[in-house]
Chains A and B, each alone.
Chain A
Amino acid sequence: MKPTTSGRRLFADHGFRFVVWGLLLVIVAPGVLWPIGLGVGDADAWAMVRDDWPRLRSLLSSTIGLAFAIAAIAVPIGFLAATLLLRFRVVFRSLWHVGLVAALFTPLVVYADAWYAVLSGLVPRGGWAAWWSAVAIHVMAVVPWVSILLGIGLSTSRADLEEAALLDTGPLGVLRRITLPSLWPMLAASALLAVVPVLTEMAITDLFGLRTYAEEVYTQFQSGAAEAATVLLALPITVVLTVLLAVVVETLGRRARGLRASPRRELTQGRLIPTLLLVSLAAGYLLPLGALGRQLGLTSSPSGEVRWSSPTAWHYLARELASGWSTILANLAGSLVTALGVTIVAILLAWHHRWSGEVTRAALLGLACWLFVLPGPVLGVGLIALFNRPGYLGIPGLIYDSPAIVFLAQLLRALPLAFLITSSVFDRMDRHLFDAAIVEGADAWNLLTKVALWPARHAVGLAVLVSWATSLAELSATKIVAPPGLDILSLRVFSLLHVGTGSEQAALALLLIGCATLFATAVVLLGDRFRSTTSHDA
Chain B
Amino acid sequence: MNRFVFVVLLTSLVGVGCGQRPTVVVYCALDREFSEPILKRFEAETGYHVLAKYDTESTKSVGLTEQLLRERSRPRCDVFWNNEILNTVRLANDGVLEPFESTVGREYPERFRSPENLWYGFAARARVLLLNTGETEGETLPTKREELTDPRWRGRLGMAKPLFGTTATEVACLFAVAGPEWTKQWLLGLRSNGVHVLSGNKQVAVDVGAGQLALGMTDTDDSLGELRANHPVKITYLGNGSDGLGILLIPNTVSLIRGAPNAEPARRLIDYLLSPETEEILALGPSGQIPLHPRAKASPKLDLPEHPKWMAVNYEKAVEHWSDAMTFIKDTFTAP
Contacts and interface: CB of A to CB of B under 8 A. Distances in A.
A479 B56 contact: yes
A485 B231 CA distance: 34
A300 B231 contact: yes
B76 A484 contact: yes
Contact of A121 (B211, B330, B335): B211
Given A209-B199, A221-B66, A389-B74, 7 more contacts: A55-B334, A123-B212, A224-B66, A304-B230, A304-B232, A483-B76, A498-B199
Interface string B217-228: 000000001000
Given A123-B212, A222-B164, A498 B58 contact: yes
Contacts of B334: 55, 211, 216, 219
**Interface on chain B toward A: helix, strand, loop, or mixed SS?**
mixed
A125 B70 contact: no
B199 A206 contact: yes
Interface in A375-400: 384, 388-390, 397, 400
A211 B335 contact: yes
A223 B57 contact: no
Nearest to A491: B56
B203 A483 contact: no
Interface string A223-244: 1100000000000000000000
Contacts, number: 118
Contact of A482 (B53, B57, B155, B331): B53
A521 B268 CA distance: 50
Interface string A456-485: 000000000000000000000001001111
Given A498-B58, A499-B33, A125 B213 contact: yes
Nearest to B163: A223
A126 B155 contact: yes
A125 B207 contact: yes
Interface residues of A, number: 47
A501 B228 CA distance: 11
Contact of A211 (B27, B65, B212, B336): B336
A401 interface: yes
A495 B56 contact: yes
Nearest to A303: B230
A314 B334 CA distance: 42
A120 B212 CA distance: 8
B31 interface: yes
Interface in B53-88: 53-54, 56-59, 62-63, 65-66, 69-71, 73-74, 76-77
A498 B202 contact: yes
B210 interface: yes
Interface string B15-42: 0000000000111000111000000000
A331 interface: no
B62 A59 contact: no
Given A300-B229, A482-B53, A484-B51, A499 B31 contact: yes
A314 B5 CA distance: 45
A16 to B, nearest CB: 19
Interface centre among A224, A491, A494 (most CB of B within 10 A): A224
Contacts of B155: 124-126
Contacts of A400: 76
Given A121-B211, A222-B66, A300-B231, A206 B58 contact: yes
A223 B73 CA distance: 19
Contacts of A302: 230
Interface in A154-193: none
B313 to A, nearest CB: 22
Interface of A: 55, 58-59, 61-62, 120-121, 123-126, 206-211, 216, 219, 221-224, 300-304, 384, 388-390, 397, 400-401, 479, 482-485, 491, 494-495, 498-501
Given A209-B198, A495-B32, A501 B225 contact: yes
A397 B212 contact: no
A224 B62 contact: yes
A222 B63 contact: yes
A58 B199 contact: no
Contact of A495 (B57, B76, B77): B57
B311 interface: no
A97 B229 CA distance: 40
Given A207-B199, A223-B163, A498 B335 contact: no
Nearest to B197: A209
A209 B210 CA distance: 18
A505 to B, nearest CB: 11
A389 B210 CA distance: 46
B158 interface: yes
Contacts of A210: 336
A196 to B, nearest CB: 20
Given A223-B164, A397-B74, A484-B51, A499 B326 contact: no
A489 to B, nearest CB: 14
A380 to B, nearest CB: 11
B164 A484 contact: no
A222 B229 CA distance: 32
Contact of B52 (A384, A484, A500): A484
A209 B161 contact: yes
Contacts of A484: 25-27, 51-53, 76-77
A302 B232 CA distance: 10
B321 interface: no
B49 to A, nearest CB: 8
Contacts of B276: none
A308 to B, nearest CB: 15
The 3 closest A-B pairs by CB, nearest first: A485-B51, A498-B57, A484-B53
11 contacts: A55-B335, A58-B335, A206-B58, A209-B196, A219-B334, A222-B63, A223-B59, A224-B62, A302-B230, A483-B76, A484-B76
B132 to A, nearest CB: 11
Interface in B289-336: 326, 330-331, 334-336
Nearest to A60: B336
B246 interface: no
A369 to B, nearest CB: 27
Contacts of B65: 224
A534 to B, nearest CB: 35
B239 interface: no
Contacts of A388: 70-71, 74
Contact of B230 (A300, A389, A479, A501): A300
A501 B230 CA distance: 12
B200 interface: yes
Nearest to B161: A209
Contacts of A499: 31-33, 57, 200, 202
A210 B32 CA distance: 26
B247 to A, nearest CB: 23
A494 B59 CA distance: 12
B158 A207 contact: no
A498 B164 contact: no
A401 B76 contact: yes
Nearest to B24: A484
B105 to A, nearest CB: 23
Nearest to A391: B74
Contact of A62 (B63, B200, B330, B336): B336
Interface in B95-126: none
A209 B333 CA distance: 10
Nearest to B157: A125
